[in-house]
Amino acid sequence: MEEIDRSGRSAQEESHASIACMMFDKGWGATPGWQEVWREHATPDMVGYFHGEPVPNAGIDAFLAFQEALFAGFPALTTTVTGVTVEGDTVIVQSLLEGRQTGSFLGAPASNAEVRVPDVTIFRFEGGRICEVRYFTDLLMVMSTIGAVQTNL
């Protein structure tokens, strides 16, 4: 992980950044106990977005169900945080995802393809807890790598 500049952050911003980064170590679907980490650090009515679209049925339970289905395709996915930007109640985390698709992913059957893709996750906090998550990755790269779409790039 590259060195992250923490200068000028308030104590609250530093706390938010710490929680957001911790989610990459303990809160993603390839980590045992990840659901409990989300329940501890997110509001019960949190809202999740995947590529701009809201996860169906707002709330932590719907978000966790969506995450579980999403990670089923990549059960050993690893993440490396490459950058963190904090402004007030918002934390933007850049990371690199790496893993092999051994299960269904967004309707595409297991390909056993190795994926390495950058992503961005935007966390919004309220009362020290995550109330909104917006997740973006290079989905075209993922889908073409696993053979779900053909590209001429």
Structure confidence at residue 45 (pLDDT): 96
Cβ-contact 86, 60 below 8 angstroms: no
Domain spans of the chain? 11-145
Backbone φ and ψ for 51, nearest 5 degrees, come out as 55, 45
Radius of gyration of the chain (CA): 16
How confident is the model over 31-73, as pLDDT tens digits? 889 999 999 999 999 999 999 899 888 899 999 999 998 889 9
Q: Are 75 and 82 in contact (CB under 8 A)?
A: no
Question: By the 8 A CB rule, do 82 and 1 touch?
Answer: yes
pLDDT for 152: 77
CATH topology of domain 11-145: Nuclear Transport Factor 2; Chain: A, (3.10.450)
Q: What is the pTM of this model?
A: 0.89
pLDDT tens for the 153 residues of the chain, in order = 444 455 688 999 999 999 999 999 898 887 889 999 999 999 999 999 999 899 888 899 999 999 998 889 998 889 999 999 999 999 999 999 999 999 999 999 999 999 999 999 999 999 999 999 999 999 999 999 999 998 776
